[in-house]
Amino acid sequence: MSEPTKHELRRDCSVWGSYMWGFADVGADTYVAIGLVMSYVQGASSLAFALAGCVYILIGLAYTELASAYPVAGGGPYYTLRALGDFWGFVGGSALLLDYTIDIALFAMASAGYLNFFLPLLVGHGIDYFAIDLGPLHHINPLWCIETLTIIGFLMFLNIRGIRESSLLNEIIGVIIIATSSGIIILGFIFAWQPDLLVHQWKNEFPTFHNFMYGSSLAIISFVGLESISQAAQETRRPATIIPRTSITLVFTVFIFALAFSTLGLGILPWREFAKHIDNPIAILAQSIPFIGVVAGPFTALLGALILLISSNTGVMGASRLTYSLSQYQVLSERFHVVHPKYRTPVRAIVIFSLVGAAEAFLAFLTPSAMDTLGNMYAFGATLGYTLVFIALMKLRLSDPYTPRPYKMPFNLKWRYKSRQVEIPVLGILGMLGVSLILFEVILTHAVGRIAGPAWMLLCFCYYTWYRRNAGLPIFRSAPHSWEADQMQVLEAAEEFDLLEQYKLSLSERDRQLKRVNRVSSQKG
């Protein structure tokens, strides 16, 4: 890592700020995924969310261990780079960049969708009224497309200017979202929930196996965005203390919300209602609750639009932090490090990836269901990235046991490796198998994802090859990195003094052990 510069990220994020950073990204996902998942999984939606949620918890625990041990920007691709080398760091980074660009497109689209809740009141027609057929292309919605592109343009402009939503605003909105969502769930269960309706839908509206596979692989969308806490690790105070708590809380918060909304929804309305209102399912649910329905519906629509706007914004910000991190390790060009001379923002990364997001949104609108198309690709990037993170977790347990781990995934098997005792994470293996299964489901059932995803990876590979050749660096091997010095610098900057001393102690014990071994070998020789 380079010496601290004036562009060094400030450690200003508190425990609530760290949690909100993650919640702003992940919390919005359920607002999008509920409609998508229910339209395929129908009466078994709760099961789909539960299964995807169990895999997600394992992913969350893996991120918690890695983000608290390596509190730097970069997230999953950084851990992959560290564990498996530059090439695999690039693969993980490409998968995540795909997701960030889709994040920009999908959540801008969903934000516009929630705003369209008010369209009947304003113009007397719903959004579907504006859908047209264009030659061989059916059900194209130009109005929704224009709304989406306008939102993306606005976010791009905002991020170039450097007018970021303040941490306080983010936190206030987050509190309102949690309070509103909790209110909907609690009042819904008390005053509107009918277990008989849930059971009836489970028994009579159970999906086909293919639809269940497709829907449960889409359910992972509910949980994508946990990355954000690890991306914010370099800006978090006391990351080794705070990140385990905020990550675990976020993981279980989102799991509980996803399960609660799906169970509540199927006990209040038929799944077809959610499929019909795929663009604002939570608002439809809120509207159906006695006492609060009249107000809750429009309020949730507005709130949904806002949280999805923020979530789309985290895509723009996330792409810039990721490229900032990868360019430091020569996986991407240093040009992504360049900041605007006046606004001091990474303008190149912002413009490029916002335009990619806009292009994806535009192309998605040429398909019959734009949100479904984007959701397709989102699942591919997320599951590929998460698979690599699990592999990185296990590899780092073996190759870097010296870095202190304030949080470790539970249930480990002790194993003797190169005359050291290491711990193999059983849950990490299960998580890797689970997310690989979802990746397999995605490739099998997502017609767009299995083509667009690998195509994106190939495009990124072409860039990577060109960049590394020009820089005189190997393509499949790694450039030299000073991980130990970097780690000490990071721990010192993070004010994690106890971990820093622990790390120094581990390294000196390792060196002493090596000296002893060398001494014994030379004596024998």
Shortest distance, CB of residue 251 to another protein, whole angstroms?
10
Among 375, 347, 349, 350, smallest CA distance to 361 is for 375
Of the candidates 8, 128, 334, 501, which one interacts with another protein according to CB under 8 A? 501
Shortest distance, CB of residue 501 to another protein, whole angstroms?
3
Of the candidates 142, 162, 290, 454, which one interacts with another protein according to CB under 8 A? 290
Of the candidates 267, 318, 346, 357, which one interacts with another protein according to CB under 8 A? 267
Among 504, 94, 39, smallest CA distance to 331 is for 94
Strand partners, 421: 416
Of the candidates 260, 303, 370, 394, which one interacts with another protein according to CB under 8 A? 260
Structure tokens at 219: 């359910």
Shortest distance, CB of residue 229 to another protein, whole angstroms?
12
Residue 245 or 481: the one with the smaller Cβ distance to another protein is 245
Shortest distance, CB of residue 13 to another protein, whole angstroms?
13
Q: Are 39 and 291 in contact (CB under 8 A)?
A: no
Structure tokens at 80: 């992959």
- The angle subtended at Cα 100 by Cα 97 and Cα 106, nearest 5°, is 140
Shortest distance, CB of residue 292 to another protein, whole angstroms?
10
Q: What element of type H or E holds 454?
A: helix 449-470
Shortest distance, CB of residue 215 to another protein, whole angstroms?
23
Q: Are 477 and 86 in contact (CB under 8 A)?
A: yes
Which window, 71-79, 250-258, 315-323, 360-368, contacts another protein (CB under 8 A)?
250-258
- Going from the C-alpha of 104 to that of each of 308, 346, 350, the distances in angstroms are 10, 17, 11
Q: Are 94 and 251 in contact (CB under 8 A)?
A: no
Q: Give the DSSP per-residue string, 227-248.
A: HHHHHGGGGBSSHHHHHHHHHH
Rg, C-alpha atoms of the chain: 23
Subset of residues 41 to 70 that bind another protein, contact rule: CB under 8 A: none
Shortest distance, CB of residue 204 to another protein, whole angstroms?
20
Q: Are 334 and 327 in contact (CB under 8 A)?
A: yes
- Is residue 190 at the binding interface for another protein, with CB under 8 A as the rule? yes
- Is residue 288 at the binding interface for another protein, with CB under 8 A as the rule? yes
Subset of residues 3 to 22 that bind another protein, contact rule: CB under 8 A: 15-16, 19
- In SS3 terms, 270-299 reads as CHHHHHHCCCCHHHHHHHCCCCCHHHHHHH
Shortest distance, CB of residue 505 to another protein, whole angstroms?
5
Q: Are 41 and 216 in contact (CB under 8 A)?
A: yes
Which window, 243-251, 385-393, 423-431, 438-446, contacts another protein (CB under 8 A)?
243-251
Place of tokens 């299995």: 450
- Is residue 510 at the binding interface for another protein, with CB under 8 A as the rule? no
- Is residue 476 at the binding interface for another protein, with CB under 8 A as the rule? no
- Is residue 289 at the binding interface for another protein, with CB under 8 A as the rule? yes
- Is residue 508 at the binding interface for another protein, with CB under 8 A as the rule? yes
- Is residue 505 at the binding interface for another protein, with CB under 8 A as the rule? yes
Residue 96 or 289: the one with the smaller Cβ distance to another protein is 289
Structure tokens at 279: 């663009």
- Please list, in sequence order, all residues whose beta carbon lies within 8 angstroms of the beta carbon of residue 60, skipping any fewer than 6 positions away: 223, 226, 247, 248, 250, 251
Instruction: Give the binding site for another protein (CB under 8 A).
Output: 15-16, 19, 182, 185-187, 189-195, 238, 241-242, 245-246, 248-249, 252-253, 256, 260, 263, 267, 288-290, 293, 495, 497-498, 500-502, 504-505, 508-509, 512, 516
